[in-house]
């Protein structure tokens, strides 16, 4: 059964969503992310993906206080990403209440440091963020396109012990046009033991059912929930 992971993206302390990672497309859904987190938890969801978009843009964690509030007032397992670029950042994330962190840019730009984090915190707690655009890994809040192709990039870190990967097809993100199931199938065929978290494009409950049928272990989604395309009640069979 696929794992359901709703997402909360944060800008200036508010719950927002972007389209294709473009900050100019920001849409505010709620002024209080904690209110959203409590609503999500009330339906039986156990895990939440929180993204500090200010942090991703600023190259360091900004909205760690939001993690603290959610951790203090819910029992949700928080997976946090955005702006984790240094030892100080990752320490702040865990100290603020994150149970897991998602790291992308550092894995591209400073693989030695990322490997140190895997060893220090364990592969169970550090998720490799693989944001893909035109077959290449993008970094720094999707504003930079790197030279790393997806499959060799994943292979390098699987060899280093990575178990959990959050893969986002940027072209699909926020478009509500369906996820890149073909891409995720390719990843799972190459790395059958990987705990792959699919992200981007989920538009309806049928998309989640299709990912489940394809054997994808987990899915992150947000906009479809906030736009009312997916009702929390529809997710009950997965919880």
pLDDT in tens, 16-41: 998 888 899 999 999 999 999 999 99
CA torsion sign for 118, 120, 121, 123 is positive
At 130, the pLDDT band (50, 70, 90 cuts) reads: very high
Task: Judge whether 72 counts as a catalytic residue.
Answer: no
Which is catalytic among the residues 9, 54, 89, 207?
9
In 3D, which of 4, 2, 17, 10 has the Cα closest to residue 222? 17
* pLDDT the model gives residue 144: 66
The helix/strand count (H/E) of the chain reads as 10, 12
Q: How many angstroms separate the CA atoms of 29 and 17, rounded?
A: 8
* pLDDT the model gives residue 140: 65
Task: Judge whether 131 counts as a catalytic residue.
Answer: yes
User: What are the tens digits of pLDDT across the range 131-155?
Assistant: 998 889 987 655 667 789 999 999 9
Which is catalytic among the residues 79, 131, 169, 173?
131
- 3-class state of residue 114 by DSSP: helix
Residue 95 is part of which domain span?
Answer: 3-238
Give me the DSSP letters along 116-138: HHHHHH-TTTEEEEEEEETTEEE
Domain CATH for 79? 3.20.20.70
Q: What's the structural domain count of the chain?
A: 1
């Amino acid at each position: 059964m696929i794992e359901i992971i709703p997402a909360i993206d944060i800008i200036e302390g508010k719950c927002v969503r972007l389209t294709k990672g473009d900050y100019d497309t920001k849409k505010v859904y709620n002024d209080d992310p904690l209110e959203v987190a409590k609503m999500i938890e009330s339906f039986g969801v156990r895990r939440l993906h929180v993204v500090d978009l200010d942090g991703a843009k600023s190259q360091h964690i900004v909205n760690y206080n939001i993690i603290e509030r959610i951790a203090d007032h819910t029992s949700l397992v928080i997976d946090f990403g955005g702006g984790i670029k240094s030892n100080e950042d990752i320490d702040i994330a865990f100290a603020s209440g994150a149970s897991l962190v998602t790291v992308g840019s550092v894995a591209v730009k400073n693989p030695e440091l990322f490997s140190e984090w895997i060893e220090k915190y364990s592969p169970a707690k550090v998720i490799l963020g693989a944001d893909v655009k035109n077959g290449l890994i993008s970094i720094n809040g999707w504003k930079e396109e790197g030279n790393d192709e997806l499959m060799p990039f994943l292979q390098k870190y699987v060899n280093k012990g990575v178990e959990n990967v959050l893969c986002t097809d940027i072209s699909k993100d926020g478009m509500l046009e369906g996820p890149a199931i073909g891409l995720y199938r390719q990843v799972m065929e190459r790395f059958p033991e990987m705990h792959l978290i699919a992200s981007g494009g989920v538009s309806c409950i049928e998309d989640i059912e299709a990912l489940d049928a394809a054997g994808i272990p987990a899915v992150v989604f947000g906009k479809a929930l906030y736009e009312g395309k997916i009702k929390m009640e529809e997710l009950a069979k997965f919880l």
